[in-house]
Amino acid sequence: MRRSDLGEFEEIVLLTVAVLTPEAYSVAIAEELEQETGKNVSTGAVHASLQRLENKGLLSSHMGEATRERGGRRKRIFSLTLAGSRMLHEVRDLRNRLWDRIAPQTLPQINMV
């Protein structure tokens, strides 16, 4: 599994799953992402990503309990696999290495207020 196989949205979804575990399922993830990014995130898009990530072996899933809001339907709950967690680490390491190598003053200063 190469890093390049992880799309940006996928990466974020993967991270969100890690954040929300053990209650990570598509609606929760979509809500979380909407809050974090301020953009509309549909469960459809999240569902597609989750399924891709599961096919890649980065996530595993099981069916959870049913709730009233879901009309008595069960939800599919996701959790990271070992490969998934290694992938997250690799991605983070790569980014960190690159950040560390940026010479000081290279990036235009942005006032973070």
Partner 1 sequence: MSPKEQKPDASPPRWLDKLVERFCAPHLVEEVMGDLHERYHLRVRRFGQAKARKQYWREVLAYARPHIFKRRPSPYPKPIFTDMLRNYFKIAFRNLLSKKFYSAINILGLSIGMTCCMLIFLYVNHELSYDKFHSKADRIYRLVTDIKTPTETIKISITSAPMGAYLKKDFPEVEEVARMYHRSVLLQRDEHQYQEDQTLFADASFFDVFDFLVLRGNVRTALVDPFSVVITEDAAKKYFGEENPIGQSLRMEGSFDLTVTAVVRNVPSNSQVEFDFLISMSTLLEKLDPDRKEEWGNFGFYTFLLLPELTNPEALEDKFPAFMERHISGMREDEMYYSLFLEPLRRVYLYTGRGGPVTGSLSNIYFFSIIAAFILLIACINFMNLATARAAERAKEVGIRKVNGALKRQLTIQFLSESILLSLFAFVLASIFTELLLPAFNELSGKIIDESIFYEHNYLLLLFLLALGVGILAGIYPAFVLSGFQPVSVLKGRFSTSSRGLVLRKALVVVQFAISIMLIAGTVTVYTQLNYMRSQELGFTKEQMLVINFRRDDKVMRQMEAIKNSLKSHPRVLSAAASSSTPGQSNSGAFTNIENPDGEMQASNIHLYSVDFDFLEQYQIEVVAGRSFSRDFPTDSTQAMIINEAAAASYGYASPEEAVGKRFSQWGREGQIIGVIKDFHIRSLQQQIQPLTIRIATNDFKLISLHIEAKDIPSTLAALERQWSALVPHRPFDYFFLDEAFDQQYRNETRFGKLFICFGGLAIFIACLGLLGLISYTVVQRMKEIGIRKVLGASESSIIRLLTKDFLKLVIIAFLIATPIAWYVLREWLADFAYRIEIGAGVFLLAGLGALLIALATVSWQSIRAALANPVDSLKDE
DSSP state at residue 72 = T
d(CA 19, CA 85): 12
State which residue, 70 or 89, has the beta carbon closest to partner 1.
70
What are the backbone dihedrals phi and psi of residue 101, each rounded to the nearest 5 degrees, phi first? Answer: -85, -5
Taking contact as CB under 8 A, which single stretch among the options 9-17, 40-48, 90-98, 100-108 is the one that binds partner 1?
Answer: 40-48
Which residues within the stretch 56-95 sit at the binding site for partner 1 (CB under 8 A)?
63, 66-71, 73-76
Q: State whether residue 86 is helix, strand or coil.
A: helix
| Binding positions for partner 1, rule: CB under 8 A | 25-27, 30-31, 42-45, 47-48, 51-52, 63, 66-71, 73-76
